[in-house]
Amino acid sequence: MKSIKMIRSIIPIVTILLILCYPLLQAQNSTTVRANGESEVVVITATDYAFEAPDEIESGWRNIRFSNEGEDPHLILFSRLPEGKTVDDYLTEAGPPFNKAWYQLRDGKITPQEITGILGKTVPEWFWGVERMGGAGLVMRGGVAETTINLPPGNYAMECYIKTEDGEIHFMEGMARPIRVLDKNSGGTAPKADLLIKVSNTELEVHGDLTAGKRVVEVQITEKPDKGLGHDVHVARLGAGANLQEVVQWMNWYSPNGMREPTPDHATFIGGMHFLPLNSPGYFTIDLSPGRYLFVSGAAADKGIFQEIRVK
């Protein structure tokens, strides 16, 4: 009888504990988590070849935590679609011309200098109205990249356009997914930056504290090229034996082996900031240890838009 009474007394305590812990358990299993009482962190996971992410998020300044759990390197770009367009339209109308032009380049039938002209004629006109709103730069297997970007309401495509070793573009393999940004502001704010990167059509400038430690980097795009999608910033940690020019050349997507597996030897990509609207800042966080780093605009690497940095 005593044991039965004890069990009966324990049951209400267990019930109360479950009720109290339920919100915490929900938060741990959700795709968004609270960080230090600030706005929600949107958690997005890349695999080979898909994104795990919420179907919808609130608008405004959003903290994005991007984890790569695949074998390949991955990135994420948030592309705001024109009214009435969907990710299916993106893949079925804009995807095939990109794929066709890429196969022609890969197979030596056209040159890198010709591909942008071909895409200008074959990609649907509405594609050039897509707004690139930022996202995480290239991240290696097991890596995590943190970015903060300002997302207005609308329908978006999340995409990765790295190429497999066989030369297939990731977004055509499944790495394009819709996400709805709601007409409800998250209340988030832009972080305070330790470093400032300005990217124009002629240079990439890095200003601020370049000592070791965790650093918040503000990125500003001050000019947009006549051709292409714009400027971005990718960061690579260069190990002993890394060839700077090989890494820079690999970043040129319009090269047959550009942004195509495998990545250059002794170069570890640790994130960055993707295409942004002109004069609209985005932020990313990196943990700098002493050594060599490459800050490079992948879209303009062949034009010398990069800097090698030494962190003390």
Q: Distance between the two ends of the chain, CA-based, in angstroms?
A: 71
Rounded CA separation 164/225 (Å): 27
In a domain, 89, yes or no: yes
In a domain, 192, yes or no: yes
Neighbours of 161 (CB within 10 A): 18
State pLDDT tens for residues 257-306: 999 999 999 999 999 999 999 989 999 999 999 999 999 998 788 888 99
Predicted local confidence at residue 303, as pLDDT: 85
Contact predicate 283/273, CB 8 Å: yes
Contact predicate 205/182, CB 8 Å: no
In a domain, 211, yes or no: yes
Banded pLDDT at 16 (limits 50, 70, 90)? very low
Predicted local confidence at residue 33, as pLDDT: 52
State pLDDT tens for residues 128-163: 999 999 999 999 999 999 999 999 999 999 999 999
199, amino acid identity? V
Task: Please give the C-alpha separations between residue 252 and each of 155, 166, 298, in angstroms, as whole numbers.
Answer: 29, 17, 6
In a domain, 53, yes or no: yes
Predicted local confidence at residue 204, as pLDDT: 95
Banded pLDDT at 32 (limits 50, 70, 90)? low
Rounded CA separation 42/156 (Å): 15
In a domain, 5, yes or no: no
Q: At what angle do helices 112-122 and 95-106 cross, to 10 degrees?
A: 160
In a domain, 26, yes or no: no
In a domain, 31, yes or no: no
Counting residues of the chain whose pLDDT is more than 90, the rounded percentage is 76
Report the candidate in 115, 91, 120, 111 with the shortest Cα–Cα distance to residue 101.
115
Tokens 């030369």 correspond to what residue? Answer: 167
Domain encompassing residue 115: 48-311
Rounded CA separation 196/219 (Å): 6
pTM value? 0.86
Rounded CA separation 71/142 (Å): 8
State pLDDT tens for residues 72-86: 999 999 999 999 999
If one counts the domains in the chain, the total is: 1
State pLDDT tens for residues 232-241: 999 999 999 9
In a domain, 38, yes or no: no
Predicted local confidence at residue 225, as pLDDT: 83
My answer on whether omega of the bond before 49 falls inside 30° of 0, hence cis, is yes
